[in-house]
Amino acid sequence: MTPSSTPFIATPSGFGSTAGAQSVEAIIARSRQRSLDVHRLDPAHGRQRVLSPGALRDHREPLEPLLTVARSGMESLFLQIRDVGYVVLLTDAQGVAVEFINNPSVEREARRAGLAAGGRWTEDHEGTCAVGLALIDQLPITVHHDEHFCIANRLLTCSAAPILATDGRLLAVLDASALHSPADRSSQHLVLSMVHATARMIENASFLHQFERHLVLRTSSRREFLEVATEGLIAFDGGGHVVAANQRFLHDTGRSQGSLNGVHAEQLFGVHYEALMAAAARPSAEPIRLRLLHSGSQCFALARGPRKPSPAVRPRSKAAASTTGADGANALTMLAGFDPRMRANADKARRVLDRGIAVLLHGESGTGKEAFAKAMHATSCRTAAPFVALNCAAIPETLIESELFGHSEGAFTGARAKGARGKIAQAHGGTLFLDEIGDMPLALQTRLLRVLAEGEVTPLGAERAVPVDLQVICATHCDLDALVNAGRFRLDLYYRLNGLVLSLPPLRERTDKAALIDAILADEAASWTDIAPRLSARASALLLGHHWPGNIRQLRNSLRAALALCDGGEIDVEHLPAELLASTPPVLPPQRLSSIGWGESPSPVELTASPAAAALLKVLQAHHWNVSATANSLGLSRSTVYRRMTRNRIVEPNRRN
């Protein structure tokens, strides 16, 4: 394709014919040469593929703070260009699309072209392409039709712009791509301008979010547009020293990256820091005129004072904390027990608490997903607000909409006379737990997506939306990836909900099963007696060896029944449900054998033919059943030793009689 006679000029600060700027012709020519000589790509064989959801999560998680503010900008851009067949995507610094907004009319075709979440768009992978060049040259650029290196991409037109961190690092790339567009390259200039402007808006929004606890000046060369078109941003610490400035402010003042850090407001503008704070405290936003001392140039600024934490995320007061007891700060720790996977889950959950990140819990039925969500709520700063749970599979499809969103008076036949608040409104300020989210009807998924995007809910029959602030935790035992591929779950909602994905292990795989059984037994016994009955060796072996298809729920119900049937201080096999006896006959040590080692009854493993199990037993006995010492001597972790003991039915002496 022949480029237009007046090619677009890419510059670091925007658009124009600045001296020294690079023409797109030159940038693309160099890229095509690199694709051949350096990357050794074949134009006829595209290598585009979409990453698996698991691999994609590894790319998404580091960008969650940016995604929080980027989604609104992407949605705004998409609404302006969707009707002409564009899709919008955001890639990380490795060129992987971590956020994607599609046009339903071209969804299937776009996915085949790699325009989907998980698509990789780097020069070494796809040759010359807009995202690849934005990553390398850090400039806004359009790659149109035949300018793409790979033949498979030459129907596309793509416009991309980099998004930079306050320290100048490349954070992400924003891209708008169309599968079909006019042959004239100049038709894309407006789209590129919109992409570039949106990228700057995302940068600025990220800056304001990152430094919301600082005094921030929003600067512009024009007083009239200061409130609606921010150009420069500069943040000060409590002592009046610069901690960060955005790229536009640095460019306009001729400063290099980092050169302003630590500079005092008086050295920069010749004004006292207290004067800036006073301007920020005024009820009405009045622009102030500033003069840069090093250059003498003038600008106008609006001052925004440090923001206080919102009530929903304010640290708990002593009174609030005291009401939580064991369900407070230690709730996640207690729930995780001694299982390494559960402890890792609890640690990750703590890290995202109160950061506005949605959490998706995976796990078999009965693994304790709702208990984990309650522990997160109890550990968060929202603990004094409601925890509201809704099982999407337990409510008829005809009722779930009103249950979730609520309804106004007379919204439908049978509606309550005064209307009803839905679960979302009830959870305002607290946590909304949506169990079995995979069973939510498609129509409601669209409404839920809007609630999450806009932070407000409109009850059925109501005319006005109600603002809501909540932590969303969802749970499912289904494969949501498969549901997405089958068209039964919205992809955009899926990526709204899986800010952090945690997989809860089934009971049969937990390495702390023995301790967990003891803890649940003590918890259930607390309502029956002051002293919990102990488990006999036979009952303990049976419980440890059972497969537990119903997981913790089944275990708790079994122990509850055993407590009711037990007359004395010991729970034996006959007190346990018959289903346990039928499915997992216990392997028990025969009473006639003499004790070994330190006086304990022989382990069941001695009656099996496993050399590995016998060897492990020997080491355990040599270390007087000290699992830590055994693990150290074998070069294993404690969890691995416990796992092997469980697999081979090796029961510690103090748990047999």
**Checking DSSP bridges between strand 431-435 and strand 471-476, what pairing results, if any?**
parallel
Please state, in angstroms and rounded to a whole number, the distance separating the CA atoms of residues 61 and 68.
11
Please state, in angstroms and rounded to a whole number, the distance separating the CA atoms of residues 483 and 463.
33
32-50 burial, b if ≥16 CB within 10 A, otherwise e? Answer: bebbeeebebebeebebeb
- Which structural domains are found in the chain, ordered by start? 9-200 (3.30.450.40), 211-304 (3.30.450), 327-505 (3.40.50.300), 506-586 (1.10.8.60), 599-657 (1.10.10)
User: Per-residue pLDDT tens for 249-261?
Assistant: 888 888 877 788 8
The region of weakest confidence among 231-245, 500-514, 600-614, 617-631 is 600-614
Residue pair 154/148 in contact by the 8 Å Cβ criterion = yes
Neighbours of 277 (CB within 10 A): 17
pLDDT at 255: 82
User: Per-residue pLDDT tens for 69-115?
Assistant: 888 888 889 888 888 889 999 999 999 999 888 877 677 788 778 88
User: Per-residue pLDDT tens for 504-559?
Assistant: 999 999 988 888 888 888 888 876 665 668 888 888 888 988 889 889 989 999 99
Q: 371 vs 332, 333, 432, CA distance in Å? A: 9, 12, 13
Q: How confident is the model at residue 50 (pLDDT cuts 50, 70, 90)?
A: confident
Please state, in angstroms and rounded to a whole number, the distance separating the CA atoms of residues 75 and 205.
14
Separation of first and last alpha carbons in the chain: 84
pLDDT at 369: 94
Please state, in angstroms and rounded to a whole number, the distance separating the CA atoms of residues 431 and 458.
18
pLDDT at 145: 93
Q: Is 258 helix (H, G, I), strand (E, B) or coil?
A: coil
Measured CA angle at 444 (ends 438, 450), to 5 deg: 110
Residue pair 472/452 in contact by the 8 Å Cβ criterion = yes
pLDDT at 648: 74
Mean pLDDT of 414-437: 80
Residue pair 515/654 in contact by the 8 Å Cβ criterion = no
The region of weakest confidence among 52-66, 106-120, 404-418, 428-442 is 404-418
Mean pLDDT of 338-344: 88
pLDDT above 60 (res 21)? no
DSSP states along 265-304: HHHHHSS-HHHHHHHHHSSS---EEEE-TTT--EEEEEEE
Q: How confident is the model at residue 22 (pLDDT cuts 50, 70, 90)?
A: low
Q: How confident is the model at residue 418 (pLDDT cuts 50, 70, 90)?
A: low
Please state, in angstroms and rounded to a whole number, the distance separating the CA atoms of residues 361 and 502.
5
Where are any strands of DSSP class E within 246-370? 288-291, 298-304, 359-362
pLDDT above 70 (res 434)? yes
Q: Which two tokens stand for residue 318?
A: 């002593």
pLDDT at 552: 92
pLDDT above 50 (res 476)? yes
Q: Which two tokens stand for residue 187?
A: 């038709």
Mean pLDDT of 606-624: 66
List, in sequence order, every residue forming a beta bridge with 432; answer none if it has no partner: 388, 472
Q: Which two tokens stand for residue 230?
A: 């921010």
pLDDT above 90 (res 226)? no
CA count, 13 A, side-chain hemisphere, 80: 15
Q: Please, what is the average pLDDT of the chain?
A: 80
Residue pair 387/377 in contact by the 8 Å Cβ criterion = yes
pLDDT above 70 (res 266)? yes
The region of weakest confidence among 43-52, 111-120, 255-264, 606-615 is 606-615
Residue spans of alpha helices (H) in 353-479: 369-379, 397-405, 423-426, 442-454
User: Per-residue pLDDT tens for 274-288?
Assistant: 888 888 887 766 788
Find which of 45-49, 266-270, 284-288 is predicted with most confidence, using mean pLDDT: 266-270
pLDDT above 90 (res 431)? yes
pLDDT above 80 (res 364)? yes
Please state, in angstroms and rounded to a whole number, the distance separating the CA atoms of residues 598 and 622.
10
Q: Which two tokens stand for residue 581?
A: 């006896």
Question: What's the DSSP call for residue 429?
Answer: T
Nearest to 77 by CA among 187, 190, 169: 190
pLDDT above 50 (res 320)? no
pLDDT at 308: 61
Q: How confident is the model at residue 14 (pLDDT cuts 50, 70, 90)?
A: very low
What whole-number percentage of the chain has pLDDT above 90? Answer: 23
**Checking DSSP bridges between strand 431-435 and strand 500-503, what pairing results, if any?**
unpaired
